[in-house]
Amino acid sequence: MVFKALILGLLFGLFAKETLASSCPTLLDSTQRKLNSADTVSLCDEYQGKVLLVVNTASQCGFTGQFEQLENLHNQFKDQGFSVVGFPSNDFNQDRGSEENTAKVCYLDYGVTFPMMARSSVKGTDVNPVFSEIAKQSGITPKWNFYKYLVGRDGNVVGVFSTGTSPTDDKITTMIKQYL
């Protein structure tokens, strides 16, 4: 009887895991390498069911100072199921020469603790799958660095904010609170 219960429990666990994996929203259905690291993260495992602010960043841009506000926003809401997720890109020729330099700007210069992924393209033929899905859902590709995409708990884009919109602008914080 115990053996039968154990087998049923294992089968149920496998089925539940399979069901969860198959229900991953397309936007989160990828594994990304972390910035300046060999470590990877499954976006689905890490962020499914959370509200996200996905941002394409650059370490040598006139808007790089937004890292400070992004960090403040992340800290303000992270305990409520929210995360900022940064994706450095050199698509606009504004990211420092190497991932190591980009990481220095993020982690040392601005004290970023929110997740930063490896440098990737956010538009064009080599677009990161996250930004491909963002463009598909929203119809908007980044026009410059620090475009911000608010993603609801269901993995769908619910808001798009241009470079010039401060991360702590009331429009963004109000929407974050609405979706938390």
Query: What does the DSSP assignment read for 41-106?
Result: EEHHHHHTTSEEEEEEE-SSSTTTTHHHHHHHHHHHHGGGTEEEEEEE--TTS-S-SSHHHHHIII
Per-residue model confidence (pLDDT) at position 11:
47
Residue spans of the domains in the chain: they are 25-179
Confidence of residue 96 (pLDDT cuts 50, 70, 90): confident
- Name the percent of the chain lying above pLDDT 90: 87
Answer whether 0.95 is exceeded by the pTM.
no
CATH superfamily of 25-179: Glutaredoxin (3.40.30.10)
What does pLDDT average to over the chain?
Answer: 91
Respond yes or no: is residue 61 known to be catalytic: yes
Which tens digit of pLDDT belongs to each residue from 36-79?
999 999 999 999 999 999 999 999 999 999 999 999 999 999 99
Dihedral angle over CA of 89, 92, 98, 100, nearest 10: -50
Which tens digit of pLDDT belongs to each residue from 110-122?
999 999 999 999 9
Confidence of residue 18 (pLDDT cuts 50, 70, 90): very low
